[in-house]
A = this chain, B = another copy of it.
Amino acid sequence: MTTLKRADARKNIESIMDAATTCLARDPDVSVAEIAKVAGVGRVTLYGHFESRAALVTQVVERAIRHSDEQLGAIDLDGDPRTALSRLLEASWQLTQQYGALIVAAEQSMPHEQFQAVHLGLLDRWKPLMERGRRDGSFRDDQPLEWQLTLLQSVLHAASGAVYRGEIKASEAGGLVDGTVQAALTAPGSTRG
């Protein structure tokens, strides 16, 4: 293959993955034909690079997970645990919004164990901060840590669903997520500022 042809192939692959990310984030059931159309390539070209819809979805999800992991990894988790939690929640909410229904597409196309493994990898980012905050009294420790991690994830998904259904505005969702999680991590009888 010539250098020019290789550059063309790379460009096509990138267009297809970008288009697939956008399309799947809107509609997890979007067809390959629609993705090819948005990418500006033919279906034959698409299938030349990705052997099946599932293979394309897997690569798109893996790229989104890598990107999410980089974004979350760049966040300063030092200092006051409550403030650090707000930073982490804000970034997580942005990623939840950006990738939206991609998570649904992933659950449909990837083997369950594989999806759980990469998704749980992201949750690991929360663990040291939650542990530190529980130790220094910033967060309640009368509930299991596992439950609190599940709750964080569940509030983010609830917000995503509520925005999708038009119950809350996308612009207010980040604040609601933060306000809800911060309150849920406060033990009864204690006060926070």
Q: Restricting to A157-179, which residues have a CB under 8 Å from any CB of B? A: 157-158, 161-162, 167-168, 172, 176, 179
Band of interface residues on A:
20 to 34
Q: In the complex, which residues of chain B have a beta carbon less than 8 angstroms from the beta carbon of A153?
A: 158
Contacting residue for A168 out of B146, B158, B162, B186, CB 8 A: B146
Q: In the complex, which residues of chain B have a beta carbon less than 8 angstroms from the beta carbon of A78?
A: none
Q: Restricting to A125-168, which residues have a CB under 8 Å from any CB of B? A: 140, 142-144, 146-147, 150-151, 153-155, 157-158, 161-162, 167-168
Contacting residue for A188 out of B146, B183, B187, CB 8 A: B183
Q: How far is the CA of A136 from the CA of B172 in the complex (A)?
A: 25
Q: How far is the CA of A183 from the CA of B186 in the complex (A)?
A: 6
Q: In the complex, which residues of chain B have a beta carbon less than 8 angstroms from the beta carbon of A146?
A: 162, 167-168
Question: Counting CB contacts under 8 A, is A190 at the interface?
Answer: yes
Cβ–Cβ contact B176 & A143, under 8 A: yes
A146 → B minimal CB distance (Å): 4
Cβ–Cβ contact B167 & A158, under 8 A: no
Given A143-B176, A167-B146, do A191 and B193 touch, yes or no (CB 8 Å)? no
Question: Counting CB contacts under 8 A, is A184 at the interface?
Answer: yes
Q: In the complex, which residues of chain B have a beta carbon less than 8 angstroms from the beta carbon of A188?
A: 179, 182-183, 186, 192-193
Closest 8 A/B residue pairs (Cβ): A154-B158, A184-B184, A146-B167, A191-B191, A150-B162, A183-B184, A180-B184, A154-B154
* Interface CB pairs A-B, < 8 A, 20: A140-B183, A143-B179, A143-B180, A144-B172, A146-B162, A146-B167, A146-B168, A147-B162, A147-B180, A150-B161, A151-B158, A154-B155, A154-B158, A179-B188, A182-B188, A183-B183, A183-B188, A188-B193, A189-B192, A189-B193
